[in-house]
Structure 1
Amino acid sequence: MNAMTSLSFDIQKSTEFCSIHQIQMVSYRGRPFCEKCSLESLDRGQKEHHHAVNTMVRNKHFEGARLPRRHQESGFSNYQVLNNGQQNAKAQCASFAKDFIGDAVRNLIMVGRTGTGKTHLACAVARNVLDKRKYARYITSEDMADEIAKAWKIADDSEANAIHRFTDYDLLILDEYGLHDRHENRLQLVHKVLYSRYDEGKATMLISNLTLDELQKDLGDRLWSRFQHDGLTLVECNWADQRMQGGAA
């Protein structure tokens, strides 16, 4: 008797009925079970596995984005709107995130004085993008310049490799541009990344306390032109410092 014949003798119709599906159960080696319940259990197991994998992937995406701890839960829903300017900034950033998720690649520049919620909105964009399994990275201009400048000190790394890493993200959020990167060599490293992302057709969010006129002069005509090439969203945050008023920034 082969294995299949033996198995057919082990599985028999049971005299019991499933209390859930009201169908006759089968018996395997004397133990009754419902075929539908078994299939549903298997389906649940597959769904649980799929959910666990998705959760792991999502967590990896969020870890890789390196959002500031203070803003890891910053979203559009908890962004405080107290004036028309904030409402407009929120709407522009939400629209940018929606379009980006839909594969529309353009850049966003957000300028304004300190404490106006620019980083909150940037992280809200990042969280929406990350939820859709896109790769995003948040970093300050100073930290990015540091990482690239120090790359040659690390085994098997180089300036070119570091620039490639920052180019590779679907969305780069470059915060505090113009604040601590004023040395010409450091600024050139930052600009190399921006040029590289333009060449690769990647979207960049650039955030600065400079005015638009100051920022345009700082970037230079060639880089400013490239920022606008595929479409540019400009967000100006000109209201009072929300930190001084107890708001979230």
Structure 2
Amino acid sequence: MNASILNAQIQLSSEYCETHRAQKVLVGRTAICKQCATEILNKAHQDHEIEVNRMVREKHFEGAKLPARHANNGFRNYLVENNGQQNAKQQCTSFTKDFNEGMNRNLIMVGRTGTGKTHLACAVARNVLQSRKYARYITSEDMGNEIANAWKKADDNESNAIHRFTEYDLLILDEYGLHDRYENRLQLVHKVLYARYDQAKPTMLISNMTIEELQKDLGDRLWSRFQHDGLVTVECNWEDQRTGGAA
């Protein structure tokens, strides 16, 4: 019955489509070209898909909470003036490529302040986000404070806060060891790192400590876990670029 109704409503028109050189059909009292109609529908579908992808991308970037100063940092605008910087860039691009292909390793980046560690970290995050994965940037101090203060919010607690940080595909933890010594804040940060290990989720850890100092601060058990699935270490030992030192 539906087919009969459809055939009764759609009839050949005396008009022709100049674009497709095809006879139009009547839909009600309107003459249309079937190919034109299909192209319009396809274009509308493509536009909708583009808009959905844009909204998803914006949501991912917003949720990553990259610092405003570094929000547009990428590998292309990372300044390379010495072998150390070239190595750091190469290590971070390889880590990103491997991550996007499903290889979940951890990365530790250490070195002096002002050597571009956060720039590279945000470059990694931006590439991960472009691949529609979830990444989150946060300082060790802010993470510890957020978890410690979770109980002040309705329907929240320490366990929930730790779980939120565990769920990200990639966690970028900056300024480890700088301002995270207050009370039990560092223990809370370590709980997140243990939880991410248990869930096989990779973490980027950034610190002004040396590798040796960081290993001691994390402790043998956590340091061992960081290396389990493969560990990339990047040392940034050139001069502070913010103060005009030799890069």
Match of 1:206 in 2: 205
Secondary structure at the counterpart of residue 196 of structure 1: helix
Contact 1:148 1:162 in 2 (8 A): yes
Q: 1:1-249, aligned counterparts within 5 Å?
A: 5=4, 7-183=6-182, 185-245=184-244
Query: CA 1:246–1:239 in structure 2 vs 1: closer, same or farther (change >3 Å)?
Result: closer
- Larger CA deviation: 79-88 vs 8-17: 8-17
Instruction: List structure 1 segments (4+ residues) > 6 angstroms apart after TM superposition.
Output: none
**Unpaired segments ≥5 residues, structure 2:** none
User: What is the alpha-carbon root mean square deviation over aligned residues?
Assistant: 1.8
Contact 1:105 1:202 in 2 (8 A): yes
In the TM superposition, residue 9 of structure 1 has moved relative to its aligned partner by 3.9
Cα distance in 1 for partners of 2:216, 2:27 equals 79
Secondary structure at the counterpart of residue 77 of structure 1: coil
What are the Cα deviations for residues 104-159 of structure 1, in whole angstroms up to 9, with x where unaligned?
A: 01100000101111001001111111111111110000000000111112221111
Query: CA 1:33–1:111 in structure 2 vs 1: closer, same or farther (change >3 Å)?
Result: same
Contact 2:239 2:246 in 1 (8 A): no
Secondary structure at the counterpart of residue 226 of structure 1: helix
What are the Cα deviations for residues 66-114 of structure 1, in whole angstroms up to 9, with x where unaligned?
A: 1111111111111111111111111110110110011101100000101
In the TM superposition, residue 12 of structure 1 has moved relative to its aligned partner by 2.3
TM-score normalised to structure 1 length: 0.94
TM-score normalised to structure 2 length: 0.95
Query: CA 1:25–1:166 in structure 2 vs 1: closer, same or farther (change >3 Å)?
Result: same
Cα distance in 2 for partners of 1:227, 1:187 equals 16
Cα distance in 2 for partners of 1:143, 1:94 equals 27
Aligned residues: 247
Contact 1:110 1:208 in 2 (8 A): yes
Cα distance in 1 for partners of 2:149, 2:242 equals 34
Cα distance in 2 for partners of 1:50, 1:38 equals 18
